[in-house]
Amino acid sequence: MKVSELSTNPLRRKFASGKTAYGLWVTLESPAVTEIAAAMGVDWICIDLEHGALDFSDVLNHLRAAKGTDMAVIARVPASRVDTIKKCLDIGVDGVVLPLINSADELREAFEHARYPTVGKRGLGGERAVRWGLGIAEYIRRANEDALVIPVIETRSASENIEAILDVPGLETIFFGPADLSSSMGYIGEWEGPGVAEDILRIQRSAAKRGIVSGVIGMTPEDMNARETQGFQMIGLGSDGGMLIKQFKQLFGKLKGETYEHNWF
């Protein structure tokens, strides 16, 4: 991945250096989650607007908590529409994660929403990303190549159309949703159903040939090490809520002598 001298996106710089970037999926409202993640040295957080109750105000609060750190803030939008993509970028995120991308045409349209003319059709606003208009010239010089647009590969259709998806101009990073990919292939409730793990590695190798970074959530430290060895450069440690639950399981479950259903995140 090439990085412009104008780039202020810390995640793009880490990708360009060849380093593995570890991140946290944010599902809770409290900006303290982001402050803790930054203090721990996490490389990126992804604020999840697709599931749960978080909204754009929560994105803003998490961004403020991350200000002054070297941690990238990206947001998974609820849908790949102009309003959701544009608003997150205007608030000031370093990139957007796109759910349920099934085809190259869908991804190309999303890129248009995330890029200013003449490359795209993103409207110009005077919001936080441009320092309320005070830094508009600086922002628009770098915005088109600085903000990451990351499709989630999580459907059978995306798997079948992957070569065309990977050839979309400007694509630099993809992220996998193993559970949803399994569900779309008939294995609902399984993290990686029969053949899904192999399919993910097939897609990751094809992306790597194009210089495209692949990301995935790790299940355990051992799984994360294996993912790094496989060539994944963007690895999620899990979610904030999931980490709380795992710790409760470890402590409270033992005290009560109870076992709990496995938690993916």
Report d(CA 263, CA 265) in Å as an integer: 6
Q: Quick one: tokens of 37?
A: 């993640």
Q: What is the dihedral of CA 237, 242, 243, 244, to 10 degrees?
A: 160
Amino acid type, 89 = L
H or E stretch including 149?
Answer: strand 148-153
Cβ atoms 240, 26 nearer than 8 A: yes
Compute CA distances 258 → 220, 246, 249, 263, whole Å: 21, 13, 9, 15
Residues facing 24 on adjacent strands: 45
DSSP conformation letters of 19-30: --EEEEEE-SS-
Q: Calculate the CA 76 to chain-centre distance.
A: 6
Verify cis geometry, omega within 30 degrees of 0, for the bond prior to 118: yes
Point out the catalytic residue in the list 51, 62, 113, 262: 51
Cβ atoms 192, 182 nearer than 8 A: yes
Neighbour-count burial of 29, counting CB atoms closer than 10 A to its CB (0-12 exposed, 13-18 middle, 19+ buried): middle
**Is residue 51 flagged as an active site residue?**
yes
Q: Supply the residues annotated as catalytic.
A: 51
